[in-house]
Amino acid sequence: VQIELLTIGDELLLGFTIDTNGAYIARALAALGVAVVRRGTVGDGADEIATAVREALDRTGAVITTGGLGPTADDRTRDVIAGVFGRKLHRDDAIFAQVEARFRKLGVPMPPSNVNQAMIPEGARVLTNRHGTAPGLWLEDERGRWCAMLPGIPREMRGMLKEELLPILAGMVGADPTVVLSRTVRTTGIGESALAEMLGDLAKGVDGLPLAFLPAWPGVDLRLTSAERRAPSAEACLTAAAAKLRAAAPRYVYGEDDTDLAGVVLDLCREQKMRIVTAESATGGLIGARLTAIPGSSDVFLGGTIAYTNFVKNRELGVSAELLRDRGAVNEEVARAMVEGACGRFGAEVGMSITGVAGPDGGTPETPVGTIWLAARVAGETRAAGKVFVGDREEIRLRASQAALDMVRRMLTRQIT
Ligand code: AMP
Ligand code: MG
């Protein structure tokens, strides 16, 4: 099965909203065995929408749209696509009652414009929206060409895709189709070319699966892709290939797919019955935010100190005022004193600290922007490292948080360095 994707909205053309819906749907469909052969974006204009849908129906005969199903005058998708299919709209009392009920649940009166959302084209199949008011629609002509309309709000779109549209499409592709599936092996602490060298022949592909190197702030992600296999065999190939990559770069791999290094560190500490504290200067709580973003972190993460100024480094963590005065805040001794102060004062077995210059100002010839000292402490042993990260302020802070977490991961997995 082949389809086209059309995302609708002026805000997408202007670049104020990033088209995450298109990317999300394309991924979900590849895993199902539906090929997205073309993706497009148009504004909210009636002619633009009608032309784009007509062309897609002529080319591919199958199109999914997102956006423009809201109640306001700039939401024209429903009316325009009904027109493309030559269908009139009528008020559907059951849908109207649902929209009304949703407002009653929220305890606000329903604005009159929401009646538009109960206007349904003749012969349309309604895709139920359990996460918002705008129902989705499926229109099909006598030749079997179809258009499925999903809402623009990503959370509503995702719910409707999973609950309503994917089951319909799964029925169309039939049993056991060939699918496109990917697996990502996540590495950190090593650059792209060094990693490629370490992987040797595997860098060119593993067991016939192409391999992509995707560098970003968390590290270099290695993405394996299987096309033209059926799902069970694709999964088995990906698992075997991922294991080969892990074995080739064991020190650098911290997980697969969406794994966050913060979660890996929490799991390791949980297993070893250790509790974490943080002492953050340049990252201002970023590590704490990453740890607490993971549900259930409270049994491992005690908390931490945002020791941004020398005053707080001294007062809350016990970093020597003379050291800070004579040597400044960005050096190995301060990083060590911060983590030792945090572990000692809060009574934790594991800690990490970060002090550095995230820029864009504040650099000096000896301590340029991007200089970060980090330290980690596990069960009485402290290690420290000085790094210079590249990127803007945000990237430097993210990379620093990742490096500190990785230092702890290595210590908890008993790696020598
Ligand atoms: P709409 O259904 O067109 O009223 O869109 C509602 C909201 O959903 C917009 O304000 C956008 O923030 C968001 N949105 C619409 N289309 C997309 C898209 N393709 N990707 C991500 N967000 C979107
Ligand atoms: Mg819109």
What integer pLDDT is reported at residue 416 of this predicted model?
A: 77
Q: Is 245 helix (H, G, I), strand (E, B) or coil?
A: helix
The amino acid sitting at 216 is A
Within its chain, how far is the Cα of 415 from the centroid? 29
Closest C-alpha to 273, from 345, 377, 378, 374: 378
Q: What sign has the CA pseudo-torsion 317, 322, 325, 327?
A: negative
Q: What angle do CA 52, 50, 82 make, to 5 degrees?
A: 130
What integer pLDDT is reported at residue 329 of this predicted model?
A: 96
For the Cβ of 309 lying below 6 angstroms from any atom of ligand 1, the answer is no
Q: Is 198 helix (H, G, I), strand (E, B) or coil?
A: helix
Cα–Cα distances in angstroms (integers) from residue 223 to residues 202, 218, 238, 405, in the given order: 12, 14, 10, 22
For the Cβ of 65 lying below 6 angstroms from any atom of ligand 1, the answer is no
Compute, in angstroms, the gap from residue 32 CA to the centroid of ligand 2: 28
For the Cβ of 69 lying below 6 angstroms from any atom of ligand 1, the answer is yes
Residue with CA nearest ligand 1 atom 5: 152
Identify the DSSP state of 124.
P
For the Cβ of 70 lying below 6 angstroms from any atom of ligand 1, the answer is yes
For the Cβ of 74 lying below 6 angstroms from any atom of ligand 1, the answer is no
What integer pLDDT is reported at residue 415 of this predicted model?
A: 86
Exposure string of 359-390, with b = 16+ CB inside 10 Å and e = fewer, is: beeeeeeebebbbbbbbbbbeeebbbeeeebe
Compute, in angstroms, the gap from residue 154 CA to the centroid of ligand 1: 7
In terms of DSSP H, where are the helices of 225-284? 231-248, 261-271
Closest C-alpha to 256, from 241, 278, 270: 241
Per the CB < 8 A criterion, the answer to whether 283 and 400 are in contact is yes
Compute, in angstroms, the gap from residue 145 CA to the centroid of ligand 2: 25
What integer pLDDT is reported at residue 333 of this predicted model?
A: 98
CA dist 408 and 417 (Å) reads 11
What integer pLDDT is reported at residue 116 of this predicted model?
A: 86
For the Cβ of 7 lying below 6 angstroms from any atom of ligand 1, the answer is yes
Q: Which atom of ligand 1 is nearest to the CA of 9?
A: 3
For the Cβ of 66 lying below 6 angstroms from any atom of ligand 1, the answer is yes
Q: Is 316 helix (H, G, I), strand (E, B) or coil?
A: helix
From first to last of its 417 residues, the chain has per-residue pLDDT tens of: 899 999 999 999 999 999 999 999 999 999 999 999 999 999 999 999 999 999 999 999 999 999 999 888 889 999 999 999 999 999 999 999 988 998 999 899 999 888 888 999 999 999 999 998 889 999 999 999 999 999 999 999 999 999 999 999 999 998 889 999 999 999 999 999 999 999 999 999 999 999 999 999 999 999 999 998 999 999 999 999 999 999 999 999 999 999 999 999 999 999 999 999 999 999 999 999 999 999 999 999 999 999 999 999 999 999 999 999 999 999 999 999 999 999 999 999 999 999 999 989 989 998 999 999 999 999 999 999 999 999 999 999 999 999 999 999 999 999 876
CA dist 153 and 151 (Å) reads 6
What integer pLDDT is reported at residue 21 of this predicted model?
A: 98
- Distance from the first to the final alpha carbon of the chain: 51
